[in-house]
Amino acid sequence: MPQIAYLGPAGTFTEQATRSLTGDFDAELVPFETVPLALTAVRRGEVLAAGVPVENSVEGSVPATLDALTTDEPLVAVQEALLPVQFDLLVRPGTEQSAIRTVASHPHALAQVRDWLAANLPGAEVRATSSTAAGAAAVAAGEFDAAISAPVALEHYPSLERLVGGIADVRDAVTRFLLVRRPGKLPEPTGADRTSVCAVIGDEVGSLAELLAELSLRGINLSRIESRPIKDRFGEYRFFLDFDGHVADARIGDALTALRRRCSTVRFLGSYPKADRTPASVRETASEQAFRLSAQWVEDVRAGRLA
Ligand SMILES: O=C(O)C(=O)Cc1ccccc1
């Protein structure tokens, strides 16, 4: 049975998302303490794939995941999942809200209940843990007074109880997760795909605008752009781009060819079906047929068959 890594321990949002990503096949889910450790296990071939959180509708991207995807050997995303996220305040039985001095959770969870904490636990100290479930485990071990966890965490930490449920500042928050593997056969195009790349461009006038123009000129819808520092050179950035379409689509292949020419580095991070299955809208001039006919025309001109 294939082993699939996830950000653990049991009871994280990532575990739930990874279960839904691997629902179609038998898999053994293996918890890792951090996203980089889970990705290292994939790179070493110790597990087949890893489920990782990438972005949240309230708090934005998960920097640890973006950084870990671009350092070391390339990995590619093959599937995407969207998970609604809700948060509970878990405590050891008998803990009163007024007695809570420390609250532990993953930084992304803490950020999504910031207003609730300010209004309801103004004096409590906030402590970051490697995941929401790690926060619950630490509360069960007596290290902190309360944890902000996924509702499912209670099943794994039965010694805790839910003091308050549904404490997210924004209802209906959603987190996007990816299943990533070592490069290999790509998922087939479905007509409702997303492609992710990471590009490094020169620090020159117009370089980002020109890169984006390569997409818009080919009718490609950009769904996300994010920059992260390169780290060892101050002021230089990597741009993470997500856009509608599959690398097998003519317009995407054409755009990637242009990106490869323009950028000092382009890392392909995958073409995979979008979780919401919304088909890409492709204008007539960017259709497969339009690309095929125009490429054929150039071939004919080059061969002296047409002018
Ligand atoms: O810590 C978890 O449970 C995770 O899976 C990371 C996370 C944290 C907050 C929102 C979404 C994912």
pLDDT digit string (tens) for 116-157? 999 999 999 999 999 999 999 999 999 999 999 999 999 999
d(CA 86, CA 284): 42
pLDDT mean across residues, the chain: 95
| Complex ipTM tops 0.95 | yes
Is residue 233 pLDDT above 90, yes or no? no
What residues does CATH 3.40.190.10 cover in the chain? 1-84+173-184, 88-164
- Output the DSSP codes for 116-153: HHHHH-TTPEEEE-SSHHHHHHHHHTTSSSEEEE-TTH
**The CATH number of domain 1-84+173-184 is 3.30.950.10:** no
> Which burial class, exposed, middle or buried, applies to 189 when counting CB atoms under 10 A from its CB (0-12, 13-18, 19+)?
middle
Task: Indicate the CATH number of 88-164 among 3.40.190.10, 3.40.50.300, 3.40.50.2000, 3.20.20.70.
Answer: 3.40.190.10
pLDDT value at position 148? Answer: 98
pLDDT digits (tens, 9 = 90+) for 153-199: 999 999 999 999 999 999 999 999 999 999 999 999 999 999 999 99
At residue 196, the 3 state secondary structure works out as strand
Ligand 1 centroid vs 20 CA: distance in angstroms?
Answer: 15
Tokens of 206: 């117009």
Compute, in angstroms, the gap from residue 12 CA to the centroid of ligand 1: 6
Which part of the chain is CATH 3.30.70.260? 185-307
Domain 185-307 has CATH 3.30.1280.10: no
Rounded distance from Cα 119 to ligand 1 centre (Å): 22
Ligand 1 binding residues, C-beta < 6 A: 7, 12-14, 53, 56, 85, 106, 108-109, 131-133, 150, 175
Distance CA 28, CA 18 (A): 11
